[in-house]
Amino acid sequence: MPEDLFHELAPMFDLLLFDIKHADSKKHQAGTKVGNELIRKNLKWAIEQHIEILPRIPVIPHFNDSLDDAKLIATYLKELGLKKVKLLPFHQMGEKNINCFTAIMPTRIQKPYIPKTFFPTSRSSLIRALIVFSKSHIISWLFFQL
């Protein structure tokens, strides 16, 4: 979301959800086709405005599910002073909806990162991330959608 629009709208909400797909900008760009600089800028601004933030991490196989990825994200969140995070196992349940919207508004919808070979997030990746965040004194929990 453009910075000026974000600054106008963000204070109207009780809680802002920020999906953090990767802390490394180059890897974020490679996986999502957009950098994360604007996301980082908006997140930092929201924190400075004392707006309540809930960072969410979609744990995506072969993209951000390694031990190093979890450590990098935990370090980033700690530097921002954030103390909680919600982990989201990767799935493709909404892919049909994205394809529908992309057909209707192709220039406005960015298709999400889809691994070449689809595997749901492994339990070991999720447990590894929970441990990393716990050791960093960041409260973390999992969200499973049935």
The model's pLDDT over 82-99, given as tens digits with 9 standing for 90+, comes to 999 999 988 665 555 545
Q: What is the CATH number of domain 3-142?
A: 3.20.20.70
Q: What is the pTM of this model?
A: 0.77
Please tell me the total number of residues recorded for the chain in this structure. 146
At 30, phi and psi to the nearest 5? Answer: -65, -35
Position 122 scores a pLDDT of: 80
Position 43 scores a pLDDT of: 96
Percent of the chain beyond pLDDT 90?
59
Alpha-carbon span 11 to 131, nearest angstrom: 33
Q: Which residue has the tokens 């070991």?
A: 124
Question: Vertex 101, ends 99 and 105: CA angle to 5°?
Answer: 120
In whole angstroms, how far apart are CA 55 and each of 23, 107, 141? 12, 27, 11
The model's pLDDT over 47-87, given as tens digits with 9 standing for 90+, comes to 999 999 999 999 988 899 999 999 999 999 999 999 999 99
Domain boundaries, the chain: 3-142
